[in-house]
Amino acid sequence: MLRSSLLWASTNPFLARRMPSYGFVRRAVRRFMPGETPEDALREAARMGAGGVPTVVTWLGENVHSVAEARDVADGYRALAATVKERGLDVELSVKPTHLGLEHGVDVAVGHIEAIAEVARGIVWIDMEGSAHVDSTLAVWGAVRDRTPDVGICLQAYLHRTENDLERLLPRTPNIRLVKGAYREPSDIAMERKSQVDESFRRLTSRMLRERAAGRMGKVAVATHDRRLIADAGRVAFEIGLPSDAWEIEMLYGIATEEQRRLVSAETPLRVLISYGEHWFPWYMRRLAERPANVGFVLKQLVAR
């Protein structure tokens, strides 16, 4: 019930406008993002990089209203990529297709992502959004992949279709980030029970790591905070002799920080995703829905007003 309510809130325009004005909400979100500007994100990326933890940086936003707005987003990412290169940071970028104009045409998003990839140092990840955008997002990835290998795609373990999608992508030696999935979807589209999603995640992770070992995949990023799923991935990687630079765990900034420190100490490959931007409310609600226990932290900020 709580998860469903949070996912509903993530799609509510009124709440997206109103809630960020409350101080307790802004205080709570600071735990999960270092600030709203690109400089805030890069400053934290530099700090984490100095401690041996590489990062992925993303600008929060989606569903832009015009091609001109999408172009501004692309220009912002290009500037970010140039700064990353100038400072020599181990930072990858992650972009949402609808933030770069997907709803105004696949070609619009393709052009903008290609322009970002030209400047970027390392992989540019294409995030997967709601199920209505899966086919068009895969089309975007395919078109960009034709011109540059330094592009990755995100797949969501909770979608019933994902195993088939992976099968179709494998002939192109894809870079893939696997996530559980955080959008509100009907049961015929996505698995509802946590046990189902976890099992799908395990199965897909094992397949991806084995395909990587066989040379049929590029980079594999396993995005989860679940210690059991992390252990399962590590066990498979060890069994097949996969080197640590061939795959990595990805975790969100500010979540499971003790587990992040444990992974670094154990020399498990880890990369942390740092978000920035003013339009953080939908993203924040989806993060709370993934880990409802974090709602308690929000309530503490309310009491602390």
Of the listed 78, 121, 127, 150, which one is catalytic? 127
For residue 177, indicate whether it is catalytic. Answer: yes
In whole angstroms, give the CA distance from residue 189 to residue 184.
10
What count of other Cβ atoms lies within 10 Å of the Cβ of residue 238? 9
Q: Which amino acid, residue 97?
A: P
Contact 9, 21 (CB under 8 A): no
Strands (E), 209-260: 220-223, 247-252
158 phi and psi angles, rounded to 5 deg: -80, -10
Contact 161, 134 (CB under 8 A): yes
What residues are paired with 29 via a beta bridge? none
Of the listed 78, 121, 145, 177, which one is catalytic? 177
Burial grade of 143 (CB within 10 A; 0-12, 13-18, 19 or more):
middle
For residue 232, indicate whether it is catalytic. Answer: no
Residue 273's SS3 state is: strand
Q: How far is CA 27 from CA 16, 31, 256, 291, 301, in A?
A: 16, 8, 18, 18, 7
Residues noted as catalytic = 127, 177
